[in-house]
Structure formats: C-alpha cells, structure tokens
Structure 1
Amino acid sequence: MNATDELNEEPTVEKWVCQIMAAEGVIGVLGNLLVCYVIIRVKFLHNLTNYLLVNLAVADMLVCLQVFLYYLTSDCPLIVVAPVSNSVRDLFCRLLQSKYLAFALTNASAYNLCVVTTERYIAIVHPLHYARKLTTARIATLIALIWVISFVLSLPLLFTMEPSNDANKICSIKYPHRLFAILFSIFTFLFSYLLPLTLMSLAYYKMQVTLKRQAKALNLQHARAAAYDLLIARQNLVSMLKTVLGALIVLWTVDYFAVLLCLQSTDKAQFSFCGSMIYRHIRIFANLLFNFNSVINPIIYEFKYKKFRRGLKVAFCRCSKRQGGNGVDVEMAPL
C-alpha cells in the first residue's frame, strides 16, 4: 500500500483504479504463494538464501493481501463494509484505514530484502566469516527483529484514525498534532526508502567489484571449470537480486518524491501544483507502481533465476522431478 496517502489527503480514486489495485493484490498473493510453495517443495532449493527469499515472499504476499482488502473496502469500495460492533470498527479503522498495516508490511518487505542482500554480501565479500556470522540462530533472531521493528516504526499510525460518529463514514482522521503528517512522511522517506536502498546499493556495488576481481584472479590462475561455474552462478544470482532492487527503486521512487513535493494537505501545500488534477493523477499512478513492487518479484525470479525456473518445473512436472533432484547446488554455496 502507498506509504503516505492517508497522511496527505489521498486523492479520490475512480472505481476502475480500485479494481486494478484489487487485481494487483490477488495476483501478488498468488505469485508470492507460488514462490513459497516451489522453494519449500523442491529439495535442491533448500538453502539459506532461498529461505530468506521465502521470508521476503511472505512479506510481499501480506502486502498484496492488505492492498486487496483495503481497495475492496475503502474509498471506492467494491463491496460495502459496515462493521457492527464498536471493537470491530475500531480495529478496522486503526489497522486498515489508518494504513498501519500498509506501512508495517512495506517496511518488512524492504528490510527483508536487506537481509537477503546482507547474506549474499557476506558470502561473496567475506566468505571466510560466513559460517561463523550467519548461524541459524542469528538469522532467525535477525528476521524476528526485522518484523518487530517494521511494526513498531508504524505504531504512531494507530492513533491517527478512529471510528466516526458520522453515519455516512466508518472512520475519521484524528492526528495527534498538525505537524504529524509532515514529520511522519519525512521519517518514512528516510528510514523506509532512502536508508535501506542506499545500503543495498552500496552492498551490491561492493559485491560486483569483488566478483570481477575474483574472475580476473581465476583467469590468471587458469582455474578449473568448476570454479568458473561457481563464480558465474554467483554473478547470475547477484544480477537477479540487483534486478529486484532496481525494480523496488523504480516503483517506489515516484511515490516517495511525490509525497515529499507536497508534504501538507493540498490547501496548505507549498506549491499550487499540489492541488491540481495533474498531481492527483501522478499520485494515483505512483500508488499503482508502489503496490506493483510486491507483485513483480515472482516474475523476476522466473526470468532471471535459473534454479527457481528449474524448481518450478520440478514442482509441477513429474517428468522433471528425477532430473531436478540430481542437480548440484553451486549457486548458493557460501564460498
């Protein structure tokens, strides 16, 4: 879900846009569920990096589920939701309408991608420390912390929405302070967008430099074919993960910068452009792109990740199972 819409007067959305958003949600849930199924089902995909990709897929799947529920029930509802009890209405407003779940789950998606990047960074740049640093207990603790931090960072949003006394509205906005929307928008830009993307970009740059140096060293040493195969496999995996990161940058950037351009509500914004129809349509388009980021990763795996593509065939084609089970897993080897 768009990380800042509710904080900056989300533009009225036509019903066809809501239908597209809901469709994105369904496709994203099914695509990420497929990633989890294939990796869990196929034995030669059972390794740390792929387990981390499953965790990332779970985060993206929950984002897509939340997108589907939000656009199914909110500003231009495809179905009418009328929670009857006060407790249900309160949960509906604070968790869904406030976009608390949207912020928390998109944070989890971004930071889980950071964990995948960290694992590959250590495997390539510091291979001798891989087994010591990336123990099962440490990875489990890190993943748990990522999920907890993602939800904790979004806690202020729980207090920005409450059940409405208006018979025509289920929820009403109630900011704790008039500067809340501005400060929270800047905070999310820095810690949900700029920080993780900068760190991951630097890590992939360092990995690319290391892989090129390793390739040059192997060439000078006239290394055996197996060493080249391992290096090429690592290069292919890094290339796939860079594509995932590149997609995130492209699909999130428009939204975050559109919000930074107009931090306040349109009647108080620093530019008259913020109240125009052009800006309104930019926000709708940015929202579509933002949500699509949680849909696209399974597509990237299919086109860029050879082992996942082979695993997909093994999982659904009986004729491939015997061949797939005999594959040698060199792509994820830590050394």
Structure 2
Amino acid sequence: MIVLDTMINGNDTTTIIASTSGTINDERDNGWLITLRFVVVGFGILLNVGVTAVFLYIKMYKKSLLHGLIFQQSIVDLLGCCMFLFFYNQDAPDGTRAGRVFCKARAINWFITYTSIYNLVMITVERYIAVVHPVMYRNRNIGNKSYLFYTIPYIIGFVLSFHLAIIADVNEELRGECRYSKAVSLPSGILLFLLIFFLPACFMIYCYCRIVLQIRRRSRENQKNAPGYNKRPHVSIKRNLVFTMLIVVIAFIITTAPNITMYLIYNICHCFDFSTIIEHEFTVLLSTCNMCINPIIYGAKMEDFKNGVRKIWRKTLYLHGVGDESSVVNTSQNISKTSV
C-alpha cells in the first residue's frame, strides 16, 4: 500500500511517497545508486570485453561446441550489461508517448537476460550429453549440431520477453517510472518464476549432479584398471571445466533468485510498488551481476582461458622486446594440445 503525505511549508508543497513494503522516493535516482551501477556493471563490461578478446585472438571458440557456447555467453553478457546501463540507469522520458516507448523497449534488456540464462542451460545440456552419454554424443554427432544450441537461447529469450513489451507502460503517477499492467500480472509472475528461475535451476542442478557422479564413478573405475589415470592432463581438464560451469550455475541461482522472487510476490499480493522501491533497484542490479561475474569464473577456473591470456601476455612482451619467440610458440602449442 502506498501512503501519500503532504507537507506545506509556506508556499512550498512537498509530496513524500512511502510504502509499507519498501522505501519509495519521488526524486530521480540518487547519485550513489547511479555510481554503484556504473562501477559494478562497468567492471562487468570490461571483463566480458576481455574474455571476448581472448576467445577471438586465439580462436578458442572454434575448438568445440562448448567453447563456442561460452564465447556466445560472453557476448550476450556484454550486451546485457550495456542494455542495463541504458534502460535502468536513467528514468523514463517525460511525456506519455515517449515514456511508453521507453518502458516497452525495456523488454530488450530482459530479452538479453533470458537469452543469457538459456545459453547457460544449453551449456549444461551439452556437458550432460558429453559426459553422461558420451556414446550418444559421438554417434549423433552432437558437436556438429551447433546451430540448434546457438539459436535456441535467442528463441526462448524472445518468446519469454515479448509479453513484457505488451504489458509495460509508463507510470503516470510517478514521474520517470515504468509499471506493468495488473490485468495479466499473476500469469506473468508465475510464468517467469517457473521458466526463468525455478525450472532452469532445477534442471541445471540435476544435470551437474549427474555429471559429477559420473566423473567420480569413471575415475574410480579407471583408477582400479590403470593406476595414475587421474593424473592424466586431459582428465583433470575435463573435471576442471565441469566444476567451472557448476560454479557458474551456483552464481546464477544466487543472483537471479531475489529479483524473480520479488516479481512473483508482487504479482500475487500487489502489496508494494515493484518498480519504484529501492529494494527492486538492488535486486535488478544483482540479477545483472550474474552477467558480470561469469568472466571472473572463467579466468579463475578455465585452464584454456588462462593459457590464452598467457599467450597474449607473452606475445605482447615479445613485441616489446621482452622475452623470446619460443615462449610464445610453446604456449600456443600447449593450448592446441588441450582437450575437453
């Protein structure tokens, strides 16, 4: 419930807007909030640009379907960070028509966000088939059916975000704010909670649990048949890559749950103004953080990526007269020998 209090001081009248379920201000976004967005998301943009550059420079995206999907993830996350700064770091324009266009166009931001989520799902599907059902992966040539894995996230992202463009409108009562129509709010809340968070999270948790169990089972079997098997480089690389993506999934759950849960609660009870409370500003920023931290996880856990960074670094030193060409060649050879 929103309560309006009016204070009259001489000839000045000030309206203070408060909410029983959150803090609402009638002013434009505070400077500290704008600064926080630029710092967090700007850092994410730089990281995603760095990951994309490494993948392009050493052509790592051509190595396998998995690497191609991770490369696509970085591009989508980069676009998502840019869309967030454009649509959520400024208020809707004054004027009903311009404001309505701006609010409906915000669906582009959520299209990119949902595409990013389902690209993670496609990575999970690829890893699940490759590790749990390797024979089917080879026999059905899953790695060469990349067009399906690359396009499905965009299709699902468009389908799920399209209705937001329809129900979004400018909030005529609060300047610079957007709102969603209450006519279909409950179906929208349930739909997005299930398809954007709950089902993808459950599916990814199930798949990675199966993957981890499968890797452990095969490691024990091969250790019995061939002592020292776990020390082979390609085995540790495969395990490391799986655990890298598992960390990405955990980060997805932590960053996505607050905002999508708040949206569901709002559509059930309508007991607070979802688009104007400060808590919503933080949950949307946290949701965007999921697209900012993926590059950190890649850099910390993916050996292929770290080798690529080393190659670029040594190449840079060589071009500046530091080091020798053999160090660059050796790094390139190490990357080419690495297998998933």
Q: TM-score range by the shorter chain?
A: 0.7 to 0.9
Offset from partner CA, 1:180-202 (integer Å, 9 cap, x none): 22221111010011111111111
The DSSP-based 3-state class of the residue aligned with 2:82 is: helix
Aligned residue among 57, 68, 76 for 1:41:
57
Question: In 1, distance between residues paired with 2:284 and 2:116?
Answer: 16
Measure the CA separation in 1 of the matches of 2:314 and 2:260. Answer: 42
Q: Does 1:182 align with 2:186?
A: yes
State the match for 2:74 in structure 1.
Answer: 57
Q: Measure the CA separation in 2 of the matches of 1:172 and 1:258.
A: 16
Displacement of 1:250 = 1.0
**Contact 2:237-2:303 within 8 A present in 1 as well:** no
Q: How does 1:9-48 map to 2 (within 5 A)?
A: 11-12=24-25, 13-43=29-59, 46-48=62-64
Contact 1:243 1:300 (C-alpha < 8 Å) held by counterparts = yes
| Structure-2 residue corresponding to 1:5 | none
Partner of residue 3, structure 1: none
2:314 is aligned with what amino acid?
C
User: Which secondary structure state, in structure 1, belongs to the residue aligned with residue 83 of structure 2?
Assistant: helix
Deviation at 1:223, TM superposition (A): 5.0
Whole-Å Cα distance in 2 between the matches of residues 198 and 240 of structure 1? 18
Structure 1, gaps ≥5 residues long: 1-7, 76-80
Q: Pairwise mapping of residues 65-84 of structure 1 onto structure 2 (< 5 A)? A: 65-74=82-91
179-188 vs 241-250, which deviates more? 179-188
Percent identity between matched residues is 21
- Higher mean C-alpha deviation, range 114-123 or range 66-75: 66-75
The offset of 1:282, in angstroms, is 3.9
Could you tell me which residue of structure 1 aligns to residue 15 of structure 2? none
Structure 2 distance, partners of 1:9, 1:281, is 7
Matched with 1:157 is 164
1:314 aligns with 2:330: no
TM-score w.r.t. the length of structure 1 is: 0.79
The root-mean-square deviation of aligned C-alpha atoms, in Å, is 3.3
Contact 1:56–1:109 (CA<8 Å) still a contact in 2? yes
Deviation at 1:257, TM superposition (A): 2.5
Partner SS, residue 262 of structure 1 = helix
Higher strand share: 2
Which moves more between the two structures, 189-198 or 17-26? 17-26
Contact 1:164 1:172 in 2 (8 A): yes
Q: Which shifted more, 155-164 or 210-219?
A: 155-164
Q: 2 CA distance for matches of 1:324 and 1:222?
A: 29
Conserved? CA contact 1:32–1:295, under 8 Å: yes
What residue number does 1:291 align with?
288
- Partners in 1 of 2:330 and 2:70 — Cα distance? 23
Partner of 1:202: 206
Relative to structure 1, the CA distance from residue 254 to residue 44 in structure 2 (aligned partners, 3 Å threshold; closer, same or farther) is: closer
Alpha-carbon separation, structure 2, partners of 1:255 and 1:162: 19
Cα 1:41/1:11, change in 2 over 3 Å: farther
Q: May I ask how many residue pairs the two structures share in their alignment?
A: 305
Report if the CA contact (8 A) 1:211-1:231 is conserved: no
Distance 1:299 1:208, change over 3 A: same
Q: In 2, Cα distance between the equivalents of 1:222 and 1:93?
A: 61
User: In the superposition, relative to structure 1, how do residues 205 and 10 fare at CA in structure 2: closer, same or farther (>3 Å)?
Assistant: farther
Partner of 1:109: 116
Larger Rg: 2
Change (3 A) 1:105 1:9: farther
Counterpart Cα distance in 1 of 2:227 and 2:62: 28
The alpha carbon displacement at 1:322 in A equals 1.6
Alpha-carbon spacing, 1:291–1:148, altered in 2? closer, same or farther (3 Å): same
Change (3 A) 1:328 1:161: closer
Query: In structure 2, what is the Cα distance between the partners aligned to 1:124 and 1:280?
Result: 45
